[in-house]
Structure 1
């Protein structure tokens, strides 16, 4: 009898509890390595049995640990999606009030949604109000311990359908998320929300709405990047009101990955003429200039400087105003790729010194 069949026999409903718990511990250990996860997924019945055990109270916690380990590996996604009950059950538990293992459910769904195919499957499996419920959970104080809700929403908004929900003018879903982009607490949760905003900035046709009075996105992007620097009265007047006269002890976003995503939001908003105009008029250059002097991460400084160059540079010629719609010739793209590779090598050398 092979190992998969033997384990499957030990995980069955009629197995003595102590034996079953020992088998679950064995599988948990195996699921901790890429090779182990691949070996487990060679037995579809075993994957289904592990999922079934998340409903078996004595081994529920460990079974969820196994499931989270499996979902962390893209090679395991197809065998998991082939378990018919997996997505409907996990989604049902996500929205089940006071479910004890919601955090594990969030982690598993977040891991699955990193890849396009399972992400689309999750989005399709959500109930009609699913995205609205996720936003409600993120914004509700009773769910502040669910760190992976933000990253889950971020992953879902990688797809056009996910972004379209948040960018629907008839809702206020995006506006509700904005204050959570810089609230203290979990960096994982906060990073997921900022990543969601960045995904929405890819929709260049919505830039005017995002930067207009109805959403007023810019202050929420700039505030985490701002410190307590002093500006002249004239400079201060160009800044959004929330960024004027900040205290000297004002701290910037401590997580470099979140700072990077915030700068990338600004970079995307610079892709359109209207976006560039709004960023220039509202003091974005001042915040980025101070950030560039403060920032210690070489890669972030370079990205910051690229945005600064766009803001202080001349406007593109007619027909090239929208940088996201410009068609780059293959030979130019190849040259740009080489320059990016050279820049990456230089960055690695700087980091190694």
Structure 2
């Protein structure tokens, strides 16, 4: 890809000013948008912080098209981890982004959510941004924006969910969401089945999974105050008929589901749900609750339906815990058990072998289907 020399770069930079004629400015931002769409272009722009500062200033340009181009450039740049420090520290984009995000009439709030979500993917920049967020807007307001339908008529704000998921890498963020006097986490639970957006569903489930790493809260999460289990199980449950005995043990929300009940369509989200259940099953009380609530029955039917090898493996691991014997005394909390390195290596090797076997079985199955289709056509 052709890169600008110094004189060409200087000329292009001179066009990125509020006073430049709109058509020339538009051509310049459009060119840089194309440049930012690949890694080499992002690396080039990383060496040109003046360009990034000028583009950030143009996000407030009177021309909607130019401002939109500049936001899309920032989305592309924020996807590159090597540019995070430039954006956060050198340019200092976050305070302005947060101020604009808080405005319920701001037209580019969706783009801001995506940028902030990108910037919080990695722990170091996530810590920095979380601190700024608490100073400028506050986590409570962020949750309120996500949960308030029509908060901004110009934006859907779906990417607030993965932003929250990234932020809950931080213990302080998890503590806030699980503050028992605030009732914050409970507001997010219905979005595990949001039909509006897979991004929103996945982000909220990511939040729940992160919260379940704090095993001291498992009893509260599974208890009546939160009752997290139905919200994790319902997306995995199908319309299959069960015996009366099996129905009786299930949470009420999972009993006698309609014939047209569909499971979560995104395999990555299904896998996250299983991982969250697995975390809850890591403690003795959690395992007891999952067993008492007949989670195995839902997993049995789910396993028969599931076709994705990675999701199937996650399901099988959960089932092994649910139907297996209880760990010996002193090892009941699976999140606290230290596994020797040689055992870890054996488990990784076995896991890899199982995945390869499943991939080969899937390849053979698809080949057989193609052969059958070819035969029918003949």
TM-score, with structure 2 as normaliser: 0.90
Secondary structure of 1:153's aligned partner: helix
Q: Which residue of 2 aligns with 1:168?
A: 179
Measure the CA separation in 2 of the matches of 1:220 and 1:198.
Answer: 12
Match runs of 1:1-353 below 5 Å: 1-58=6-63, 59-127=66-134, 130-143=138-151, 145-353=156-364
Structure 1 runs of 4+ off > 6 angstroms?
none
Measure the CA separation in 2 of the matches of 1:299 and 1:352.
Answer: 14
Q: 1:4 touches 1:40 (CA, 8 Å); kept in 2? A: no
Q: Which runs of 5+ in 1 are unaligned?
A: none
Measure the CA separation in 2 of the matches of 1:237 and 1:291.
Answer: 18
Q: 1:137 Cα shift? A: 1.4
Measure the CA separation in 2 of the matches of 1:284 and 1:84.
Answer: 50
Measure the CA separation in 2 of the matches of 1:9 and 1:347.
Answer: 57
Q: 1:61 Cα shift? A: 0.9
Q: 1:310 to 1:27 in 2, by over 3 A?
A: same
How many residues were matched structurally? 353
Once the two structures are overlaid, the 10-residue window that deviates more, 136-145 or 277-286, is: 136-145
Measure the CA separation in 2 of the matches of 1:270 and 1:220.
Answer: 16
Q: Which runs of 5+ in 2 are unaligned?
A: 1-5, 365-378
Q: 1:298 Cα shift? A: 1.5
Q: 1:217 Cα shift? A: 0.5
